[in-house]
Homo-oligomer: A and B are copies of this chain.
Amino acid sequence: MAQNKKQVEQITDMEADFAQWYTDVCKKAELIDYSSIKGMFIYRPYGYAIWENIQHLLDQQFKQAGHENVYLPMLIPESLLQKEKDHVEGFAPECAWVTYGGTDKLEERYCIRPTSETLFCEHYANIIHSHRDLPKLYNQWCSVLRWEKTSRPFLRHREFLWQEGHTMHATAEEAMEETERMFNIYAGFYKDVLAIPVVKGRKTDKEKFSGAEATYTVECMMHDRKALQGGTSHYFGDGFARAFDITFTGKDNQLHHPFQTSWGVSTRMIAGIIMVHGDNNGLVLPPRVAPIQVVVIPVAQHKEGVLEANQAVVDRLRAAGFRVKMDSSDQSAGWKFAEYEMKGVPLRLELGPKDIEKNQCVLVRRDSGEKAFVSLDGIEKTVQTMLDEIHQGLYARAQKNLEDNTYACASLEEVKEKMSSQGGFAKTMWCGDLGCELRMKEEAGVSSRCIPLEQEHLGDTCAICGKPAKHMVYWGVAY
Contacts and interface: CB of A to CB of B under 8 A. Distances in A.
Given A100-B99, A101-B96, A102-B95, A73 B110 contact: no
A427 to B, nearest CB: 36
A49 B68 contact: yes
A111 to B, nearest CB: 9
A21 interface: no
B69 A48 contact: yes
Nearest to A119: B35
B101 A147 contact: yes
B161 A72 contact: no
Interface in A115-167: 119, 122-123, 126-127, 138, 142-143, 145, 147, 158-159, 161
Contacts of A95: 102
Interface string A23-59: 0000000000101110011111100110110000000
A28 to B, nearest CB: 13
A74 interface: yes
Copies in the complex: 2
Nearest to A69: B48
A134 to B, nearest CB: 14
A199 interface: no
Given A35-B122, A36-B80, A122-B36, A41 B73 contact: yes
Given A71-B161, A143-B74, A42 B100 contact: no
A97 B99 contact: yes
A363 to B, nearest CB: 26
A42 B77 contact: no
A102 B98 contact: no
Interface of A: 33, 35-37, 40-45, 48-49, 51-52, 68-75, 77, 80, 93-103, 109-110, 112, 119, 122-123, 126-127, 138, 142-143, 145, 147, 158-159, 161
9 contacts: A35-B119, A35-B122, A35-B123, A40-B73, A42-B72, A43-B72, A48-B71, A74-B145, A98-B99
Given A35-B122, A35-B123, A75-B159, 13 more contacts: A37-B110, A42-B73, A43-B72, A48-B68, A51-B71, A52-B69, A73-B159, A74-B159, A96-B110, A97-B98, A98-B98, A99-B100, A100-B109
